[in-house]
Chains A and B, each alone.
Chain A
């Protein structure tokens, strides 16, 4: 893209990260053991990305498109319901 077309100062609108798929960054993926999960939402609070998805009337799930595989959720989960599993 020509320098004349780019927005001055590299200003971009908010929300662009939702269209950026980061699943290729992962070495390990978090897997939730639904039986152990209490839906306390600690993982949702600690996750630095929008990768923990809340549901009305159901337990949290993981949006793997936006999970970088950092493992914070595994460390923070009080009932140890999340395990990091090596990507194939």
Chain B
């Protein structure tokens, strides 16, 4: 890989990396409200504006509902728009999430994932975004700070593609990634701006040619509008590959919709999303070093769900472990596990699946925990039974 430029290397927290990416992406409007653990993003962007390093409009709104409302209005004018939130903030945006996707506005949002109240907790799980899973937003999960940075840039390109025109969210666990300082190879502004171009929406608000966005529908048309969204979401799967390929061309970095470690010929494959994927890979590597045959499939692109790729990486496994960092009380299992089961069933594959919940409210998951979970799968005692609530104190 020949790189078109030398890299600047910086030690950045996940939140700082998002702010830097937003500054570089030539964003026109940011409307956001601070909430732990996303606050640093908003602080940094406000600082950039004050220092004259960011030319976009920063709208300091009074709530998250207003933040996304302002984003919806700004995006309808054809501007490039960004917001960020966490937990209760995302919950407060819930209504507007559907307006953004329904009006087909390519807003990009960073979500520093945090568990929901009550009881109030500041630490991570995926419960906030999983609660908005069906809102019609593209949903990506990152594993490390450099990936957060890269994905933020990629999402503008993906969302603004005329075949897509859907809002998107880059998810990364609060504190674990939002406040973790890691080595990031920063890219230069110029190739990023060449990669992104400027948004070219088919429709935009213009006082000289008035349009109505999000007009009322009837039972005669609403279903058809939602069908358009559903088809656009399907288009994401191949547009995502194009975006990744083009991004790799100037950055040398590519992640895929899924990341497969040792899934070929593995006895047990664990499916997981978010930062714990790396921890589980380390656990798998250690086990494989002592003669086991285990693999890890990290889901990067969660919506749309890359069914074909998931199935192809699980096809040879004797058993599957599906890991969820969120709770769905009363459901057969967590949302990731449900998706894995559906994908396998639709492909005509029947396999023993162990559904595991972990990391709720920021509970740590170590490599030893990973080894334990693979060990449980090997023993085979929990397949088909109720979801394993891993690490809960009993």
Contact = CB atoms under 8 A, between A and B. Distances in A.
22 contacts: A1-B221, A3-B224, A3-B225, A7-B203, A8-B104, A8-B228, A9-B103, A9-B105, A9-B203, A9-B214, A10-B102, A10-B213, A10-B214, A10-B217, A10-B225, A11-B213, A12-B211, A12-B212, A13-B211, A13-B212, A14-B211, A15-B210
Consensus secondary structure, chain A interface: loop
Contacts of B213: 9-11
Interface string B208-238: 0111111101000101110110010000000
Nearest to A2: B224
A19 interface: no
Contacts of B210: 13-15
A6 B221 contact: yes
B224 A16 contact: no
A1 B222 CA distance: 11
Given A9-B203, A10-B215, A10-B225, 9 more contacts: A1-B221, A7-B203, A8-B104, A8-B165, A9-B214, A10-B214, A10-B221, A12-B215, A13-B211
Given A1-B221, A11-B203, A6 B212 contact: no
A87 B327 CA distance: 56
Contacts of B212: 11-14, 16
Contacts of A2: 224
Interface residues of A, number: 14
B102 A9 contact: yes
Interface in A1-45: 1-3, 6-16
B202 interface: yes
A19 to B, nearest CB: 14
A8 B211 contact: no
Contacts of B214: 9-10
A1 B224 contact: yes
Given A1-B221, A11-B203, A6 B211 contact: no
Contacts of A9: 102-105, 165, 203, 213-214, 225, 228
